[in-house]
Structure 1
Amino acid sequence: MLQVLNASWALLLGMTLLMVGNGLQSSLLGVRGSAAGFSAFEMSVIMSSYFAGFLAASRMTPGMIRRVGHVRVFAALGSFISAVLILFPALQNPIAWIAGRAILGFCFCGVYVTAESWLNNSASNETRGQALSLYMIVQMAGIIAAQALLLVPDPSGFLLFVIPSVLVSIAFAPILLSISPTPAFEATKPMNLRQLFKTSPLGCVGLFLLGGVFAAQFGMSAVYGTAAGLSLQQISMFVSAFYVGALVLQYPLGWMSDRTDRRRLIAFVAGWGGAAALLAVFMAEHFLVLLGAAFLIGGCSNPLYSLLIAYTNDFLDPEDMASASAGLLFINGLGAIAGPMIIGYGMGVVGPSGFFILIAVLLLSMMGYAFYRMTQRAAPSVQDTGAYTPLTPSATPVAMEYAQEFAIEAAQDDQDAA
């Protein structure tokens, strides 16, 4: 671990600042949009546009890097992020915010792709798993820290938009001053979606449903808090609880996934998250219940992402794992785009409880489908399953292929040992 920190401390520091800026702008827009009079559905489209931009960048950024190089892409996209962040309070219009969020999604994804390719280049086969774990911890810690900044007094209405802009600008300094460009990478040709679904129906359906759940946490949790009448301090704690749960439960569930039938674990974890969401629907007046529900939902949904990828890999040959990653990412991205809009519509119809109702429907549907798939074919033996690699649902193609490389190496080691 110390070896990874020594080699990548500047990159990890920069990514922490980036995640603080990204986490703050998402929650801040949720609070300020409601105060500006935007409806729940308008806010859902604004939040959803981030994931549309993110998905577009996941396809386009590798080509941009091959044409002009890592440094130019990194600096250009970072400049756009800083500029857009300080434009939000000046453009109090839903259309402008939709466009701004789409640009942010595109730029943040491009920045992540570039940073992750540097991280991948600096890691060895022996340290790849540790580097992935540290990267995930940095992402979660940055988002959690961002929620505390919501409480900074902002009498002018601009300060909280300036803070993430400054943080993002500062984040590039340690990265660009300490890392040399890496060779342009070649994107792996994606596996046909029909073939991918045939290989792992549960992996595909689960990742689509999970995209909606994660997008609800990242995009709509502050919107829910505002609609439910929570104070700014309570909204900060509520949003943080999702990511604290993800940090705390990621590794225990990962340990379990390597020792049991993954379909059964997927079903039970999704069931726990769905039950927590239902509890929040019926006991929303108790803030501690909301915190506990957010902790469990975040603690279940984030590890589910890695669980579903690991389960899909169990049915793939090592040489097919990297090509499957692009398809899995695309399916998850479609769910992330649709999720906030459905939640926004639901909140407009039934009120704030629509937030938790949809999360419950998505997670319980995943649980039901996992139990159904258990009746369709036998599970691979625990000895034949691949390695669990921690990832967040905001993973880019580089992080996904990075994790797949780790899984491929582990699978090949197991074959050599056998």
Structure 2
Amino acid sequence: MLYVFRSSWALLLGMMLLMVGNGLQGTLLGVRGAIEGFSTLEMSIVMSAYFAGFLGGSSGAPGMIRRVGHIRVFAALGSMISAALILFPVLTDPISWTLLRVIIGFCFSAVYVTAESWLNNASTNETRGKALSIYMIVQMLGVVSAQGLLVLGDPSGYALFIVPSVLVSLSFAPILLSATPMPAFETTKPMGLREIFSVSPLGCTGIFIMGGVYSAMFGMSAVYGTEAGLSLGQISIFVASFYIGGMVLQYPIGWVSDRMDRRVLILGVSVLAAGVAVLAVLGGDVFWLLLMVSFLFGGLANPLYALLVAYTNDFLEYDQMAAAGGRLIFINGTGAIFGPLVVGAIMGAVGPAGYFGYLAVLMAGLAIYAAYRATVRPAPGWEETGSYAPVMPSGSPVAMEWAQEAFIEAAQEEEEAEDKP
């Protein structure tokens, strides 16, 4: 673990600053949109635009990096992010914000691809799994820290928009000045959608649903907070609780998943998450209950993405896993585009309660489908499955391939250990 920090501290510091900047702008827009008088539906379109841009960046970034290299892509897109962040308080209309969010989503996706390529290249076979875990923790800490910055300024002014712009600009310094050599960039040709769905219908369906859950959970959480009448400080704590829960419960759920039928665990976690969301629908006006719900829901929902990836991998050969990762990213990204749009329409019709009602319905739907799949297909024994690898729904294709490599290496090590007399 210490070796990973020593060899990649500059890259990890840069990524943390990126996440602080990205996390702050996402929550800040939800609050500022209410101040500007944007409707819930308009804000849902603005928030959805980020995920549309992110999906486009995941597809387009590899070609850009091959043509002009990591450093030029980093510099160009970093400048665009900084400029776009400053323009939000200047161009205060839904159409401009939607276009800016598309640009920011595209740029952040490409920047993540670039930075994650460097981080993965800095890892060895022995440290890749630890590096992935540290990277995920750094991402979470960055977003949680961002929520604390929200209360230090006036969301109706300019200063809070300048802060993420500065943080994003500063994040490139430790990354670009790092002694870590620039990696050669290669990506695996993805599997066909029909092929991967035939391999794991539950994995693909679940990851699509989790895209809708994740984008609504984080893209619309600040919008929900403003609609529910929370103060600025309460909104920052509420949003942070989702991420803290995900960070705390990621590893316990991962540990359990390596020791039982993952399908049963997916079913159980989904049922618990749906039940927790229903509690918020019934008692969302009690702030301490709302915090408990956001912590537990984030802690249950975040690991589900990695759990579904691991479950899909259980039915793949090693040489298929990296190729499958690209399609899983696409499926998740497609679901993420629709999440804010649907929850925004529901909240516009029934009020803030529609936010957790939407999350409860999606998690219940995943539980029902998992139960159905358990009746039509036998699961591999837990002793025949691979190891759980933590990966975030916000990860780029590089992060997914990184997780797949860690998964493969852990599985191969287990097989070698079993073969030894």
Aligned counterparts of 1:407 and 1:287: Cα–Cα separation in 2:
39
Residues 54 and 109, structure 1, Cα contact 8 Å, conserved in 2? yes
The Cα shift of 1:415 comes to 3.6
* Residue number in structure 2 paired with 1:11: 11
* Residue number in structure 1 paired with 2:216: 216
Tell me: CA distance 1:129–1:37, structure 2 relative to 1, closer, same or farther (3 Å).
same
* Residue number in structure 2 paired with 1:192: 192
* Residue number in structure 2 paired with 1:225: 225
The Cα shift of 1:414 comes to 3.4
Tell me: CA distance 1:408–1:155, structure 2 relative to 1, closer, same or farther (3 Å).
closer
The Cα shift of 1:155 comes to 8.0
The Cα shift of 1:64 comes to 0.7
C-alpha RMSD over aligned residues:
1.0
Aligned counterparts of 2:414 and 2:176: Cα–Cα separation in 1:
38
Q: Runs of 4 or more off by more than 3 Å in structure 1?
A: 414-418
The Cα shift of 1:118 comes to 0.2
* Residue number in structure 2 paired with 1:349: 349
Q: TM-score, normalised by structure 1?
A: 0.98
The Cα shift of 1:105 comes to 0.5
Residues 121 and 183, structure 2, Cα contact 8 Å, conserved in 1? no
Aligned counterparts of 1:82 and 1:158: Cα–Cα separation in 2:
14
Residues 31 and 155, structure 2, Cα contact 8 Å, conserved in 1? no
Residues 71 and 181, structure 1, Cα contact 8 Å, conserved in 2? no
* Residue number in structure 2 paired with 1:247: 247
* Residue number in structure 1 paired with 2:33: 33
Q: Does 1:99 align with 2:99?
A: yes
* Residue number in structure 1 paired with 2:337: 337
The Cα shift of 1:271 comes to 1.0
Q: Which runs of 5+ in 1 are unaligned?
A: none
The Cα shift of 1:156 comes to 6.9
Could you list the per-position Cα deviations for residues 372-399 of structure 1 after superposition, in whole angstroms to 9, with x for gaps in the alignment? 1110111101110011001111011000
Q: Which amino acid aligns with 1:198?
A: S
* Residue number in structure 1 paired with 2:160: 160
- After the TM superposition, which residues 381-396 of structure 1 pair with which residues of structure 2 at under 5 Å, given as runs? 381-396=381-396
The Cα shift of 1:178 comes to 1.3
* Residue number in structure 2 paired with 1:260: 260
* Residue number in structure 2 paired with 1:60: 60
* Residue number in structure 1 paired with 2:366: 366
Corresponding residue SS for 2:89: helix
Aligned counterparts of 2:412 and 2:14: Cα–Cα separation in 1:
33
Aligned counterparts of 1:301 and 1:156: Cα–Cα separation in 2:
32
- Percentage of pairs with the same residue: 62
The Cα shift of 1:179 comes to 3.9
Q: Which amino acid aligns with 2:212?
A: G
Corresponding residue SS for 1:150: helix
* Residue number in structure 2 paired with 1:305: 305
The Cα shift of 1:181 comes to 4.7
Corresponding residue SS for 1:390: coil
Q: Which amino acid aligns with 1:200?
A: S
Could you list the per-position Cα deviations for residues 355-375 of structure 1 after superposition, in whole angstroms to 9, with x for gaps in the alignment? 111100111100111111110
Aligned counterparts of 1:411 and 1:142: Cα–Cα separation in 2:
30
Q: Which amino acid aligns with 1:329?
A: I
* Residue number in structure 2 paired with 1:140: 140
Residues 54 and 108, structure 2, Cα contact 8 Å, conserved in 1? yes
Aligned counterparts of 1:297 and 1:103: Cα–Cα separation in 2:
30
Tell me: CA distance 1:97–1:180, structure 2 relative to 1, closer, same or farther (3 Å).
same
Corresponding residue SS for 2:342: helix
Q: Does 1:173 align with 2:173?
A: yes
* Residue number in structure 1 paired with 2:202: 202
Q: Which amino acid aligns with 2:329?
A: L
Residues 244 and 295, structure 2, Cα contact 8 Å, conserved in 1? yes
Corresponding residue SS for 2:386: coil
Q: Does 1:86 align with 2:121?
A: no
* Residue number in structure 2 paired with 1:151: 151
Tell me: CA distance 1:260–1:68, structure 2 relative to 1, closer, same or farther (3 Å).
same
Aligned counterparts of 1:41 and 1:155: Cα–Cα separation in 2:
20
Residues 69 and 184, structure 1, Cα contact 8 Å, conserved in 2? no
Residues 143 and 240, structure 2, Cα contact 8 Å, conserved in 1? yes
Residues 210 and 335, structure 1, Cα contact 8 Å, conserved in 2? yes
Aligned counterparts of 2:400 and 2:118: Cα–Cα separation in 1:
14
Q: Which amino acid aligns with 2:57?
A: A
Corresponding residue SS for 1:90: coil
* Residue number in structure 2 paired with 1:271: 271
The Cα shift of 1:408 comes to 1.5
Could you list the per-position Cα deviations for residues 192-229 of structure 1 after superposition, in whole angstroms to 9, with x for gaps in the alignment? 11111110011001000000111012210000000010
Aligned length: 418
Q: Which runs of 5+ in 2 are unaligned?
A: none
* Residue number in structure 1 paired with 2:117: 117
The Cα shift of 1:410 comes to 2.2
Tell me: CA distance 1:156–1:324, structure 2 relative to 1, closer, same or farther (3 Å).
closer
* Residue number in structure 2 paired with 1:379: 379
Q: TM-score, normalised by structure 2?
A: 0.98
Aligned counterparts of 1:259 and 1:147: Cα–Cα separation in 2:
35
Corresponding residue SS for 1:151: helix
Aligned counterparts of 1:410 and 1:169: Cα–Cα separation in 2:
36
Aligned counterparts of 1:272 and 1:359: Cα–Cα separation in 2:
12
* Residue number in structure 2 paired with 1:43: 43
Residues 213 and 336, structure 1, Cα contact 8 Å, conserved in 2? yes
Aligned counterparts of 2:138 and 2:80: Cα–Cα separation in 1:
23
The Cα shift of 1:54 comes to 0.4
Aligned counterparts of 2:26 and 2:51: Cα–Cα separation in 1:
12
